[in-house]
Structure 1
Amino acid sequence: MTLTPFATGRNAAGRCLADVVVGTTEAPTGSYVDRTRAARSSEESYDPRREGALWDSAERFTAAYAD
């Protein structure tokens, strides 16, 4: 990934994440953040059927670890 122009190095990514956590980068809860700004994610991410399928899969994959 470091050879692509879309990659962010570990240190820069950490700074971007920290900026979101401390509020330097404004990002409402649940936002998709693209480096230094909240952005709209892909249209597929707003599809309730895909969201349900992802949630169902996550529950299946983690069921063995639930208390």
Structure 2
Amino acid sequence: MTRTPFATGRRAAGSHLADSVLGATRAPTGSYVDRGGVSRSSPESCDPLREGELWDAAERFTAAFAAWTPGA
């Protein structure tokens, strides 16, 4: 994957993440960070109906893991 133009190596990705978390890369609410560059999020990403659908899907996909008990 690191040989594609869309991938970032672990070291660089960690650096970008740290910059975002620590405030070196300023990203206002409603934006996203891609390799250190800040972009506005699309209108679709702020749609409450789509957010609800995504949340419901995440709950379905993780339900088995949430119910899993180690050693059972």
Q: Same fold (TM over 0.5)?
A: yes
Unaligned runs of 5+ in 2: 68-72
Unaligned runs of 5+ in 1: none
Contact 1:32 1:41 in 2 (8 A): yes
Number of equivalences: 66
1:54 counterpart residue number? 54
Q: Secondary structure at 2:33's aligned position in 1?
A: strand
Q: Which moved more, 1:30-39 or 1:44-53?
A: 44-53
Runs of 4+ in 1 over 6 A off after TM superposition: none
1:7 counterpart residue number? 7
- Percent identity (aligned): 73
Please identify the structure whose Cα radius of gyration is greater.
Answer: 2
TM-score, normalising length from structure 2?
A: 0.68
2:20 counterpart residue number? 20
